[in-house]
Amino acid sequence: MNFAKELALFSAMAEKKGMVSSLEGNLSCIDRATGNIYITPSHKSKLLLQPDQICVVNPAGEQIGGSEKKSSEYFLHEAAYKARADIGAVVHCHVPYLSAYAFAYRDFETRADTFLHQIFGTVKCLPYGDHGTHAIHQGIEEALRGRPVALLGGHGVVCVGADLEDALGLIEAAENYAKTVFIKDRL
């Protein structure tokens, strides 16, 4: 698989859906054979990303490929891959309905929909940690145990999946669900 090409493709898709922008959000995937993480660069439109701009980071944390500077949230992605050896992709974004729960430092319950509850369970909210530091992912191991989505207190959302298609589908479903719950509570 061409990881950089795949990441550029799904990053463009995520921006087209309004889930990320040049300023907000980042996506990554991992080559489990080498341990290298492919991640979107800082402050670049994800709609226009070329495979050679995708940052490649080795297991020692050194950037070994990509013409741009790696996302400042690299530690968050690295922690997610360490927490879940079964995943192949991570999406971090600030989608509004789920992020509202993160801003309120509240877990998000998905009980109203039995099907989605099986997938998402209770989406846990992590404590606040400064952007770009290891504090941002404290508690992620517990929050992602058996669940694909976690909230980052006062910040946004992180979602993991088997691959980028899976992770993007999951975060989209979780955000749509949070939106539906918001509407339901006002009926």
Give the footprint of Zn ion on this chain (CB under 5 A): 156
Instruction: Please check whether residue 7 is in contact with residue 54, taking contact to mean a CB–CB distance below 8 angstroms.
Output: yes
Q: Which is nearer to Zn ion, 88 or 156 (CB)?
A: 156
Looking at this protein, which amino acid is placed at residue 19? Answer: M
Rounded Cα–Cα distance for residues 161 and 167 (Å): 4
**Shortest reach from residue 92's CB to Zn ion, in Å:** 6
From residue 29, how far is each of 103, 109, 141 by CA, in Å?
A: 27, 27, 18
160's tokens? 């993991």
Rounded Cα–Cα distance for residues 24 and 3 (Å): 21
- Residue 11 makes CB contacts below 8 A (sequence gap 6+) with 20, 27, 40, 46, 47, 49
Q: Which is nearer to Zn ion, 22 or 180 (CB)?
A: 22
**Shortest reach from residue 3's CB to Zn ion, in Å:** 22
**Shortest reach from residue 153's CB to Zn ion, in Å:** 12
Output the residue with the shortest Cβ distance to Zn ion. Answer: 156
**Shortest reach from residue 126's CB to Zn ion, in Å:** 12
Alpha helix locations (H) across the chain? Answer: 3-16, 74-83, 96-103, 114-120, 140-143, 164-184
Q: Which is nearer to Zn ion, 51 or 154 (CB)?
A: 154
**Shortest reach from residue 16's CB to Zn ion, in Å:** 19
Q: Which is nearer to Zn ion, 128 or 180 (CB)?
A: 128
Rounded Cα–Cα distance for residues 102 and 150 (Å): 9
Q: Which is nearer to Zn ion, 170 or 184 (CB)?
A: 170
Q: Which is nearer to Zn ion, 100 or 116 (CB)?
A: 100
Q: Which among 162, 185, 165, 184 has a CA at the least distance from the CA of 173?
A: 165
**Shortest reach from residue 73's CB to Zn ion, in Å:** 6
